[in-house]
Structure 1
Amino acid sequence: MRLHGLDIARFFAFCGMVLVNFRIAAEVTPGTDFASILTNGLEGRAAALFVILAGIGLTLTSTPKRVIAARAAVLFALGLANLTTFEADILHYYALYFLVALPFLAAPSRIFLWAVLGAAIVGLVGMILLDYEANWNWATLVYSNFWTPEGFLRHSFFNGWHPVFPWVSFVFLGMWVGRQELAQKQVQNRLILWGLAAALLAALPGQLVEDPELRELFGTVSIPPGPFYLIASSGSACVVIGAMLRLGNPLDRLGLAEWLAAPGRMALSLYVAHIILGMGTLEAMGQLDGSLTPEAIFGFSLGFCALSMLLTWIWNLISSRGPLEALMRRISEVFR
């Protein structure tokens, strides 16, 4: 049985990434308005939810490892192509996450939790011992030397937008969550309560230190991804997943579940579309120069999310899979 709640959570994760990425692309300066506060809160959280859901999907699928590896290769190629347009691409990271997680796929559930801890420690040690700011221009958020071996390895595994260490922790956590009885209300309640506790408690250490460097380490911002960011983002993701699973049946009875779940099943196609069509539209309008207000880019983002839902339903009259989902399936089926 497919759990609508997971697809709904995936669509909300996509919407959160749209809000964040459009603001980054349009170089909008955050303010103190509601739109800025909400988007600030989603930064790093929406992407983490997206990755945790990917980990859940890995444990719920019966797809052979070689097919998953082939799909990772397709994602990697799509991501590299996407990087030429949008430097904060996450698709090529997805491919690397899958390849790192693949050997653990049949492992006992407790191993996933040890892997979460291990990946987090590797990321923390790298942050302390290595130069996290190497190749970054923080004023423009441009990463130089990516297309060199050294730059690629640093960006992919250590100090990029979503580096493998520690971000693969989210995949392993999702794999652990996917092993739980997600259809049971007790499990859903635990995800909400424990997730809420983790998100709230993780925010405290950063408020207790005054040193700027320590505040980065103990804070919950996604760059750099410190341990308390991992805990806070994991907690908020578990809250959303648990809540959407709880609401799946009531929304289904109201006839709303499928409307929200369908775009979640086309998340890959919509992710690429929000860059090509969404950001492309902003560029054609000459709005990628910081001239938009936070409220304006917020409204544009929500409009794009609503349009994505409508276009998904129109597309579903033609096919049950999104165009990129169908293409990936066709390519990877060669290796089945």
Structure 2
Amino acid sequence: MTSTKKQRLIGVDVARGLALIGMMAIHILPEADDNFEPTLSWTLFAGRSAGLFALLAGVSLTFTSGGRTPLKGRPLTAAKWALAVRALIIMSIGLLIALLNPPAAIILAYYGMLFLMAIPLLGFGPRVLAAAALGFAVLGPIFMQAVRGSLPTLDGYDPSFATLVTDPAATISDLFVGGSYPAIPWMAYICAGLALGRLDLRSHALQVRMAVGGLGLATGSWLLSELLLGPFGGRTHLLESTPWMGAKGIRDVQIWGPDSWAPDPTLPTTSGWWLTILSPYSSTPLELLNTIGIAVMVLGAVLLVASKAATAFMPLATMGGMTLTLYSAHLVALSTGFLLDRPGVAMAMHTFAAALFAVIWRNVTAGKQGPLEGLVSRASNRARQRVLGSGVPAAKPGNPAADSLPGPAPEPKHNAREGAVTSAGTDRPGGAQ
């Protein structure tokens, strides 16, 4: 029982569309209600939408590096150079948008750093990648907490071209360990996505295992956090290490995130017990594992459902096919402050505008990539082609390897000549990315 390639790709695009809407909701809608309790949008999407985005980025990387069979030799080298170019362009877009200072944490520069860190991993199979995901999830936060106190920081500001010039050390430090989406612990999402992408995502049985296994991982990590903070005395230790916070403060940190009560936007370093909380965006081991579990569950469920109702999900899938363009436009619109005093109306307008643009662009351009996706694709394909040489046909414009943020692409086909790679056509909404 397998789904078709078309169905699989639509499912991944739908998941990306959901992640995009979730991140918009976190940026626009209020965190708390009139009773100072978390809103439904915060409860559903805080940390989870960004985590799903990052996991899907890892999935996308496998489609440009051999799919289920990792590339080797010169084709692998070409894929690495293409990814390096892709990473630098996406990072540059993020650093440029940050100059506008939108009221949101911008993930693009961190994505670029994550992609650069993923380059050495492109040649590995699912077992090594799954082990790497576990290693980054457990050891990454420990390393982050150990070194962050001694490193410079941007004090909550997003990395931008301005900070790269005026304070390069703090900018690099934030990209790796101190910012909103620190690359070292967040590599857990990329590695998990890479591991999934090396499997047969067309398999109905795998989709079911992803949905069930993801739910199990999310539940297990939540239960372990509750045990460590409760019966094992974690909350008591945190109160002793930060007496100024109080019991309610500890609770609120778990619900809202470290920036709500801590003296800075990052996780406090006063006690190792902070690493046991599940606070959104805290990048603790259990929060990373919990969010990975939820992301895997959502992806598995969406793959199952989208294969049965592809037409119904086409608007979401179309949005998911050009998330780099839509996410960037969303941030630019946020920077104007337009209608942000009416969050419900603003959220509706951002969502409607994104869907409308995606559908119109898809139909007017006969399924070509979004504007920024096309820019990234052309540049990364040129880098790939320079390594492969003139003997291998380049990907057709509008149908290149995956260079959107993040997303699937046609799995490369091996040429009999020296294992060279060409890009196969794809049957996804809006054409290839």
TM-score where L is the length of structure 1: 0.86
Is the 8 Å Cα contact of residues 260 and 309 (structure 1) preserved in structure 2? yes
Question: 1:70 deviation in Å?
Answer: 1.1
CA distance in 1 between partners of 2:344 and 2:217 (Å): 28
Identify the residue that residue 181 of structure 2 maps to in structure 1: 162
Amino acid at match of 1:317: N
Q: 2:347 is matched with which residue: 274, 291, 301?
A: 301
The CA deviation string for residues 62-85 of structure 1, in whole angstroms up to 9 with x for no partner, is 572211211111111111101212
Moved over 6 A (4+): none
Is the 8 Å Cα contact of residues 132 and 158 (structure 1) preserved in structure 2? no
Is the 8 Å Cα contact of residues 188 and 245 (structure 1) preserved in structure 2? yes
CA distance in 2 between partners of 1:35 and 1:251 (Å): 33
Identify the residue that residue 377 of structure 2 maps to in structure 1: 329
Task: Choose 87-96 or 121-130, whichever is displaced more.
Answer: 121-130
Does residue 1:69 correspond to 2:84, yes or no? yes
CA distance in 2 between partners of 1:69 and 1:128 (Å): 29
Is the 8 Å Cα contact of residues 23 and 49 (structure 2) preserved in structure 1? yes
Does residue 1:258 correspond to 2:261, yes or no? no
Q: 2:192 is matched with which residue: 142, 167, 173?
A: 173
Question: 1:35 deviation in Å?
Answer: 7.8
The CA deviation string for residues 7-42 of structure 1, in whole angstroms up to 9 with x for no partner, is 00000000011011224xxxx451259981332331
Identify the residue that residue 116 of structure 1 maps to in structure 2: 133
Identify the residue that residue 150 of structure 1 maps to in structure 2: 169
Rg larger in structure: 2
Q: 1:60 is matched with which residue: 63, 71, 77?
A: 63
Higher relative contact order structure (alpha carbons within 8 Å, sequence separation ≥ 6): 1
The CA deviation string for residues 287-329 of structure 1, in whole angstroms up to 9 with x for no partner, is 4xxxx4xxx5245324422331122111112222111111212
Identify the residue that residue 127 of structure 1 maps to in structure 2: 145
Query: Cα RMSD between the aligned structures?
Result: 2.5
Task: Choose 167-176 or 101-110, whichever is displaced more.
Answer: 101-110
Amino acid at match of 1:256: A
Question: 1:135 deviation in Å?
Answer: 3.6
Is the 8 Å Cα contact of residues 132 and 159 (structure 1) preserved in structure 2? no
Question: 1:265 deviation in Å?
Answer: 0.6
Identify the residue that residue 288 of structure 2 maps to in structure 1: 230
Question: 1:142 deviation in Å?
Answer: 4.0
Structure 1 residue runs without a partner (length 5+): none
Higher helix fraction: Structure 1 or Structure 2? 1
CA distance in 1 between partners of 2:153 and 2:84 (Å): 30
Question: 1:258 deviation in Å?
Answer: 2.2
TM-score where L is the length of structure 2: 0.68
The CA deviation string for residues 241-289 of structure 1, in whole angstroms up to 9 with x for no partner, is 001100112212xx22322211101100000011112x145x144x4xx
Partner-residue secondary structure (3-state), 1:259? helix
User: In the superposition, relative to structure 1, how do residues 303 and 107 fare at CA in structure 2: closer, same or farther (>3 Å)?
Assistant: same
Is the 8 Å Cα contact of residues 98 and 158 (structure 2) preserved in structure 1? no
Q: How many positions carry a matched residue from both structures?
A: 317
Does residue 1:17 correspond to 2:26, yes or no? no
User: In the superposition, relative to structure 1, how do residues 236 and 44 fare at CA in structure 2: closer, same or farther (>3 Å)?
Assistant: same
Is the 8 Å Cα contact of residues 31 and 38 (structure 2) preserved in structure 1? no
Structure 2 residue runs without a partner (length 5+): 66-77, 239-249, 251-270, 386-433
Task: Choose 326-335 or 74-83, whichever is displaced more.
Answer: 326-335
Question: 1:46 deviation in Å?
Answer: 0.4
Does residue 1:82 correspond to 2:97, yes or no? yes
User: In the superposition, relative to structure 1, how do residues 152 and 94 fare at CA in structure 2: closer, same or farther (>3 Å)?
Assistant: same
CA distance in 2 between partners of 1:299 and 1:206 (Å): 37
Does residue 1:315 correspond to 2:371, yes or no? no
Amino acid at match of 1:123: P
User: In the superposition, relative to structure 1, how do residues 223 and 8 fare at CA in structure 2: closer, same or farther (>3 Å)?
Assistant: closer
User: In the superposition, relative to structure 1, how do residues 131 and 309 fare at CA in structure 2: closer, same or farther (>3 Å)?
Assistant: same
User: In the superposition, relative to structure 1, how do residues 190 and 33 fare at CA in structure 2: closer, same or farther (>3 Å)?
Assistant: farther
Partner-residue secondary structure (3-state), 1:64? helix
CA distance in 2 between partners of 1:298 and 1:13 (Å): 18
CA distance in 2 between partners of 1:7 and 1:143 (Å): 28
